[in-house]
Amino acid sequence: MATFLIAAALLVAATLLVLLRPWRRAAQAARRDDLTARDANTAVYRDQLAEIDRDLAAGTLLPTDHEQARSELQKRLLADAGAAEPAMAPLTSGRGTMIALAIALPVLAAGLYAWRGTPSALVPPAAQHSDVTQQQIEQMLATVVARVEKNPNDSKAWMVLARSYRAMGRLAESANAFEKMGRETLDRDPVLLTEYADVLANLAKGDLQGRPLKLVEQALALDPNHAMALSMSATAAYQRQDFKTAAAQWQQLLPMLPPESDYAKWVVQTLAELRAGGGAASAPVATAARAASPATASAKPAATAAATAVSGRVTLSPALASKVQPGDTVFVFARAVQGPRMPLAVKRGLVSDLPMDFVLDDSTAMSPEFKLSSMAEVRVEVRVSRSGSATPSAGDLIGQGPVVKPGATGVAVQIDQIRP
């Protein structure tokens, strides 16, 4: 936008220089020729007087003739001075015209562009859409819903609905839209297959086994290097303790991840643990203990389960209330204070739910082998995403709670910052 305005200003300035050139020349001529007829006559008389004086000095004119000629010239000069002078037509400088052009041209150019041009093209896309409200989103969705009701075989419209509902956290509606999309469209697109698998896994509280895993396997058959499908397949293998497959797939995925991302760091650490522990032997001690004495594990009282959870309330700073929409997604998660940055447990909600109570425990764990209950200390964090993406991005609203131990209650977390 700034580049366009600078270029436009330079173009207007160049045009003014060309248009005002004749008036600048006229002003210079007016200053040079600002003489009247009387001034010209006076100069002529002065020359004539000088000439008769020279003739007297040279002896070609008698003194009596000199006096007579001088007297006649003075009389004529006095007569001309007393007569009304027909002034020469004044040459105007054109200064007023120059000022009028300098003001009118930029104004007319801006008005013409506003009338016939596209001023909205000067506004960046993000700024154009920053004021989209939840009501407008719902209206757009209603239009697509009406379209699929009119034509239930419109796979593109079902795809838009599936992805829109997924971004908004309306997972059941998203799953229904994916199912109605049609096998011909779904089965040929690894991206759609993994998105559908992600929706079903979230509905199953993170369990990838069964239908989600079959969709992931279909995606990998179409694209063996699909990053999201590889990640989900490795996680599913880890869940069923197939550590060899999990390690191989994470190793294949690692070069595709940003090296400084939290997930890449977690994958590196997990691969190191798997290699050091020799696969299945690297499973946490808590898992081995539960396998050795399942009766003891299942006999835990409810109070013990509560002692491994963290609960509290999330609020939004009034100063940031204008920065969110009711349909924006709220992620509440717990991280280990020491160790990998991968979330231990996650709860999802909407801005419209705020202030929102939360409970984070092992049932909301990202991985069965990486649980909140196994940590000595955790920190609860919150992130608001307009897109609904689980990947952090600039502009997200964030908040951070205190460091607490599993079993803590009444943890207060306020969303009070904007992610740079």
Query: Is residue 308 very low, low, confident or very high in pLDDT (cuts 50, 70, 90)?
Result: confident
Total-model pTM: 0.42
Q: In terms of CATH architecture, what is 134-286?
A: Alpha Horseshoe (1.25)
Query: Is residue 9 very low, low, confident or very high in pLDDT (cuts 50, 70, 90)?
Result: confident
Q: Is the peptide bond before 355 cis (omega within 30 degrees of 0)?
A: yes
Task: Identify the top-confidence range among 29-38, 43-52, 128-137.
Answer: 43-52
- Arithmetic mean of pLDDT, 401-416: 90
DSSP 370: B
Q: For domain 307-418, which CATH number applies: 3.40.1410.10, 2.60.40.1120, 1.10.10.10, 2.60.40.10? A: 2.60.40.1120
Tens of pLDDT, residues 389-403: 766 778 889 999 888
For residue 95, is pLDDT > 60? yes
- Arithmetic mean of pLDDT, 277-300: 36
Q: Tell me what pLDDT residue 178 has.
A: 87
| Distance of alpha carbon 173 from alpha carbon 161, whole angstroms | 8
Q: Tell me what pLDDT residue 314 has.
A: 93
Query: Is residue 82 very low, low, confident or very high in pLDDT (cuts 50, 70, 90)?
Result: low
Contact 372, 397 (CB under 8 A): no
For residue 83, is pLDDT > 60? no
Which residues share a beta bridge with 411?
312
**Fold match between domain 134-286 and domain 307-418:** no
Tens of pLDDT, residues 105-121: 677 777 676 666 665 55
Judged by average pLDDT, the poorest of 31-35, 286-290, 339-343, 399-403 is 286-290
Judged by average pLDDT, the poorest of 30-39, 241-250, 315-324, 411-420 is 30-39
Of 382, 242, 359, 340, which is closest to residue 302 (Cα–Cα)?
359
Tens of pLDDT, residues 152-205: 888 888 888 888 888 777 888 888 888 888 888 888 888 888 888 888 888 887
Q: Are strands 329-336 and 378-385 parallel, antiparallel or unpaired?
A: antiparallel
Per-domain residue ranges for the chain?
A: 2-82+92-122, 134-286, 307-418
Of 225, 231, 157, which is closest to residue 197 (Cα–Cα)?
231
- The gap from C-alpha 374 to its chain's centroid, in whole angstroms, comes to 39
| Average of per-residue pLDDT values in the chain | 74
